[in-house]
Structure 1
Amino acid sequence: MSEVDADTIDAFHRGRFLVVQPKGRGHRSGMDAMLLASLVADDRPCRVADLGAGAGAAGMAVASRLEQAEVFLFERSDEMVAFAERSLKLSENAYFANRVCVHEADVTLRAKARAAAGLQDNYFDHVIMNPPFNDASDRRTPDGLKAQAHAMTETLFEDWLRTAAAVLMPGGQLSLIARPESVGELISACGKRFGGLEVTLVHPRPGQNAVRVLVTAIKGSRARLSFRAALVMHAEEGHAFSSFVDDLSNGRAAYARKPLKGA
């Protein structure tokens, strides 16, 4: 980690790519972004939309691992857009920079306004997202940039998943990471737009409650909901990640979906 104008340059995938991020403020990407990126398992040429991309870590992780992926970062904060653009100018990221573009856009826009912001209907093979997760009962942060990134609204999942369904091609994959308590709202918001939901609870250690949930779903699928085996980050003792989680977080493996039974 090094400082640039009171910001930081952080290494991901064991130094394979770098991300410029705000120092001591705003939402800083880490393990959540890397787990989210690992949900995209596609060796074909594909277009990936990262909704609410922040500084772009998750989308860049996809571009770093998948050589044929074209990634579009959508973020409404002009300051976070600027961080993503600075990252793409780093020489260390040159090997994927021409496959990543940044759009300043509110992902809750609708119809023509959404398309004008670069969110074209039926265009993307994958949509990834890490939606805001703080509700009104959570302690508010004095950090305005972080508060904006974490602010949940009553219709958040409905708004974000409506956009995801609009911009995905039929059969395209939605991937997201959220808090476990959001599972019911997520399933409801998927409605008839998405099927074949695969839900994975993420636990810090054996015997501890889940702290995150990974969800993937397919646009237009009629397959049933399934819960996958839990993902456990650490052993009972020590701070090292499990070998599989370490592979996911460092771009050596993808957390691929199970083959669908039924369309």
Structure 2
Amino acid sequence: MTHDAFLGGRLTVSQPRNGFRAGLDSVLLGAAVRIGTQTLLDLGAGVGAAGLVALAHDDGLSATLVERDAQMLALAEANIEANGFTTRARTILLDVTAKGAERSAAGLGSDSYGAVIANPPFFDAAAGTRAAAPRADARHMDEGALDLWVRTAATSAAPGGEIVFVYPAAGLGPLLAAFDQRFGAITILPLCPRPGEPASRVLARAVKGSRAPLTLLASRPIHADAGRAFTPEFDAILKGMVRLDW
């Protein structure tokens, strides 16, 4: 177990030393939630980092964290308590791909959340060697499962609510197809490791009930031309000084 500082030390997140670990993607997700949102749903929350980042940015926000791994959910609950968010956050033990009746029985409401965020698994389980659990659960999904994640996000979001996913750029095709069936005002922000390099991940945002067209934003580099230093924009986001402006 490690105890990692996020947002320049404003948060401390306990997480397993080995396996899938919360990091940049979690911070970007939490920082991407628009200001003034009152209710947040974090699907596949893991140890809760993304939801905690969003809570740290907005004192008026309350969050529901959904995770199917009981051990990860226990860590999320411990992180909620350690960071002082027990009155503003709750957890649900649930598989994001569960059917509607199971989601409802677990306490996950429909048309309920002003924002839904997710960092879904992105490797097809049939495409290669499967990692050891629990890393496998965080990184692999069966064919068609991505659409089920988007379905759950669509059902859970309130009318006019926003949905934000972070996903590898290589998987943009199926993600965009799943979004386009259900949402409008889709905005894609490609993120590249360094200036001039291909995008490695994307942030995808959409609005439930909107009919506005898709917007493809210019790619933004995360790191400077050389070395591991972050660009000023992402350095400020990681330190918790600003939210993601997009």
TM-score normalised by length of structure 2: 0.95
Match of 1:40 among 21, 33, 38: 33
- Whole-Å Cα distance in 1 between the matches of residues 135 and 43 of structure 2? 16
- Whole-Å Cα distance in 2 between the matches of residues 223 and 50 of structure 1? 25
Does residue 69 of the first structure (1) align with residue 58 of the second (2)? no
CA contact (8 A) 2:194 2:223 kept: yes
TM-score normalised by length of structure 1: 0.89
- Aligned residue for 1:144, secondary structure, equals coil
CA contact (8 A) 1:34 1:250 kept: no
- Aligned-residue offset at 1:246: 1.4
Does residue 174 of the first structure (1) align with residue 159 of the second (2)? no
Letter of the 2:93 partner, please give it.
E
Match of 2:127 among 130, 137, 144: 137
Match of 2:20 among 9, 12, 27: 27
- Aligned-residue offset at 1:250: 2.6
- Aligned-residue offset at 1:111: 2.1
2:52 is aligned to: 60
- Aligned-residue offset at 1:52: 0.2
- Aligned-residue offset at 1:139: 4.0
Letter of the 2:71 partner, please give it.
E
- Aligned-residue offset at 1:247: 1.9
- Aligned-residue offset at 1:248: 2.0
- Aligned residue for 2:8, secondary structure, equals coil
Q: Report how many aligned residue pairs link the two structures.
A: 245
- Whole-Å Cα distance in 2 between the matches of residues 138 and 202 of structure 1? 25
Q: Which ranges in structure 1 are unaligned for 5 or more consecutive residues?
A: 1-6, 258-263
- Identical-residue share of aligned pairs (%): 38
- Aligned residue for 1:214, secondary structure, equals strand
- Aligned-residue offset at 1:256: 4.0
1:90-109 CA distances to partner (integer Å, 9 max, x unpaired)? 2xx11x33211111111112
Letter of the 1:218 partner, please give it.
V
- Aligned residue for 1:170, secondary structure, equals strand
Does residue 108 of the first structure (1) align with residue 97 of the second (2)? yes
1:129-159 CA distances to partner (integer Å, 9 max, x unpaired)? 0000112334432x21001111122112210
RMSD: 1.3
Match of 1:11 among 5, 22, 44: 5
Letter of the 2:190 partner, please give it.
L
CA contact (8 A) 2:195 2:220 kept: no
1:154 is aligned to: 143
- Aligned residue for 2:170, secondary structure, equals helix
- Whole-Å Cα distance in 2 between the matches of residues 30 and 60 of structure 1? 12
- Aligned residue for 2:134, secondary structure, equals helix
